[in-house]
Structure formats: C-alpha cells, structure tokens
Amino acid sequence: MTKKRGQSQQDDDDDNDNNNNRIDNLDDNVLLEILERIPWIWAVECKCVCKKWYNLISDSHYSICSPFTFIFQLDYYDKYQVNRDGFVFYGFTEHPGFKTLGLSLSFLPCYNRTNPFRPVHIVMSYNNLLVCSEPPISNPIGIISETVYYIVDPIMRRYIQVPPVLTIQKPAAYGLFVANSALFLSYKMVRVSSCWSSWMHESEYFCIEVFSSEVEEWKRTWFLSPKRKLFNDGGCSSTSAIAVNNKLHWVVERNVLVYDSSNETCTFIEVPPPQSMAKVTRCLGEFDGLIWLCQLESCAPFNNILNVWELEEYGSGHINWRLEHYMMWFGLEVEKFKSNEVLAFHPFDPNTLLMTYGDGLVRYNLRRGTLKEVMSWRGCDSSHVWTTKRVFPHHSSTRFYSSTFYSMIDLT
C-alpha cells in the first residue's frame, strides 16, 4: 500500500512530535548527565530546544557545573630597562606552569601586536565577562588621555566597546551591572578613582564615574572620603567589585566601600581591625547574598594571622561581622607565608581561598588546612620585578547568555 504525499507528511510530523515528547519527558538527572558530557558551547545552544531545557540549563546547579577558571594577571617591569615600561602575563589556574597560556584577546582593537607582552589590560571580571583596556600611559603632569574600555566575552570572542572617557584621576576599582532582556542588553559600568587637588596632591575626595548603556554617556560624581589618600596604590585590594542587591562592594584599606546604583550613594563600612601592625591584605566574596571578608596579617618572623568574617547586616547604620575562621601559622610555616597575599575567594566555595604562596599561586582550603599549587612562576627571568598580582574569576555561566548577547560584535 502506497502512502499519499499528504499522509506521509502528517506521519513525519507525528513522529517529530513523539520524539520531542520523549525529549521533554527525560528525567532532569538524566538530562543533566547528557548536558555535562557535551561541549559547554553546544549546551548553551540547547536552551532553545524547549522551555524545560531552557530552565534547566539556566539553573544555578548546572551553572556551577559549567567551565570555571581563575585568570591570573601579573604586572611587571624589567629592572634593567631605563623606561620601566610595564608588561603583563596571563595565566590560568588549570595549568601548573607559569607561562603565557591560551587566553587570546587579539580580536580587540586595543590589542598591541608590536608588543605581545603588553597587549591588553584586564581591569575586572563579571561572571563570564571581562572588562579590558589598553594600559594607560601618563604624561609628565599626570593627566592621562582618553581611555576606551571593552566588555568582553573571551569564550565567544565578542565585545562591546564603551565610549571613551577622559581620565584625569587615577582609576582604582571597577564594577559592572549587566541585565539581559528579551529585547536588548543593558549594562552599567562603574569606575572609582582618586582625585587630585590643584597642587597635584591627593584630596579628601574620590570620584565615581558611571556609564549607562541606556543614556550612552558617562556621569561623574565626587564624594567626600572619610580618610585622605584612601585610594593610593595598594589602597584597593581588588579592582573587581562584588555585586549584591544592586550594590557594588570593594574593600578599600580598612573599609568596605558600598555604591548603591539605585540612589547613587556611597557608604563606608569599617572592617574588623587587625591584631597587629603587620602588612595586611584583604579580599571580598559573596555567598548566599552575604558579603564575606578575608584578612591576612603577615607578621613574620613571629606569626601570620588569617581571619574570615561574614557581614550579616549593615542596614540602618548597624554593622554585624560574624567570625567564621581564625587561623595562625608559626615557625617554618611563617617563612613560607611571609610573602603571602590573599587574592580572592572561590566564587562557589567560601572555604576556599586563592592566594600567593612563595613563588606560586595556591588554593587554600580553610577547613582542611591544605594547600594545592595551581600555578608557579619559579625560574622566570630574574630581571622581572612584579608590581601587581590580580586574580579574575571567570565563570562561563549559562544564566548570563541569551540570544541578545550574540548581538555583540563578532569578528571571528
């Protein structure tokens, strides 16, 4: 018996519907097992299969299973060069050796092909995005030319160019708000800078500049700092902000600076005081909507003290820090920790820190007290003088991808 053409088409449509129903009826655990075994980029494209797949791939559980890395950036100069030009090394925590690795930002307009060691400067990260720029060069009177920033997706090799801003102050910290919608990608970029008086001395004011994609212009506001020289070199422990409840948080010397984008106000929260006059490094993290603070006091040759606090409340002028971890190192361990700097919390584990340890970068587990080296720069050129070590968490979360994000410029 020969099927009619219309009947054959109807049967094919029924078969497709049955196949779709079988896919829709897959158990969530089975579907997750499948998705975690295929390349992550393919999984993102599977969000359009059906509503169930979209919700599952967008769920935080699957996001945590998606690719994650720390991007490590070291700024250095050659002590035998007269001009002391700065250079940049990139590294990934997945690789044990210190060398220039697979991060390529050569598709950006600011990429310097004549100097492969100083191509692009990363200033902050936000989930799966980086904010990059060409390293600014100051002229003799301290005024810096226009700075162009790029919001970059290094995996998909796409970027958005932020309109240039004239940099008179010295940028110290950055923040980013990104909102995906069905129609457009909106974002706000925030830059915190120190201010200078008419005599080129740092004043008691600091500047917050905000670029909004909705109005397409920079807005500059000056705030009074509770302490002069608040944003000097080393004053801000991390250039990347921690975003919680539409507020950006940076740790600045002995304070947490909070910028509320809804009413454009700033608040300073005093951190718990250190127990000594030793060198102190700090970093912030966010877990379950709460701010965490780590403080490392390097007191060699006596001891080293590491504290971790959770900021339970800071509304209505009431501040409550709750101590989560307290640790001390003595003897030989102090010798290993004397050059330590705490750089970042692991974004998904409040008990894991990323820190420098001698000539390497390590993960430190607070509960187990164990170290695991993830990168080393032993054997590097002895003429290199390291000036800044920064870590940028990069989480390829499917929650922050939608079809609107593909409207970013594609040069591949």
The answer as to whether 133 is a domain residue is yes
Residues 228 and 180 in one domain: yes
| Mean of pLDDT values over 259-270 | 89
Place of tokens 């971890």: 325
Q: What is the pLDDT of residues 320-332, one digit of tens each?
A: 899 999 988 664 4
Residues 216 and 253 in one domain: yes
The domain that holds 170 is classified in CATH as: 2.120.10
Tell me how far apart the alpha carbons of residues 168 and 146 are, in angstroms, rounded to a whole number.
9
Residues 191 and 106 in one domain: yes
The answer as to whether 233 is a domain residue is yes
Identify the pLDDT of residue 276: 76
Compute the Cα dihedral for 103, 67, 342, 242 and give only its sign: positive
The answer as to whether 204 is a domain residue is yes
Tell me: pLDDT of 208 over 70.
yes
Band (pLDDT 50/70/90 cuts) for residue 158 is confident
Residues 317 and 380 in one domain: yes
The answer as to whether 16 is a domain residue is yes
Amino acid at 394: H
Identify the pLDDT of residue 157: 78
The domain boundary residue, chosen from 58, 79, 97: 58
Domain holding 53, by residue range, is: 5-58
Residues 222 and 251 in one domain: yes
| Average pLDDT of the chain, as a whole number | 71
Q: What is the pLDDT of residues 31-57, one digit of tens each?
A: 766 766 665 556 666 777 777 777 776
Tell me how far apart the alpha carbons of residues 361 and 380 are, in angstroms, rounded to a whole number.
14
Tell me how far apart the alpha carbons of residues 147 and 164 are, in angstroms, rounded to a whole number.
5
The answer as to whether 407 is a domain residue is no
Residues 94 and 17 in one domain: no
Tell me how far apart the alpha carbons of residues 31 and 128 are, in angstroms, rounded to a whole number.
23
Place of tokens 């896919």: 23
Q: How many domains does the chain have?
A: 2
Residues 48 and 89 in one domain: no
User: Which DSSP string do the residues of 141-160 spell out, in sequence order?
Assistant: TS-B-EEEEEEEETTTTEEE
The answer as to whether 410 is a domain residue is no
pTM of the model: 0.73
Residues 140 and 42 in one domain: no
Residues 126 and 213 in one domain: yes
Identify the pLDDT of residue 308: 94
Residues 152 and 41 in one domain: no
Residues 235 and 377 in one domain: yes
Give the closest residue to 149 by CA, choosing from 171, 169, 168.
171
Residues 239 and 334 in one domain: yes
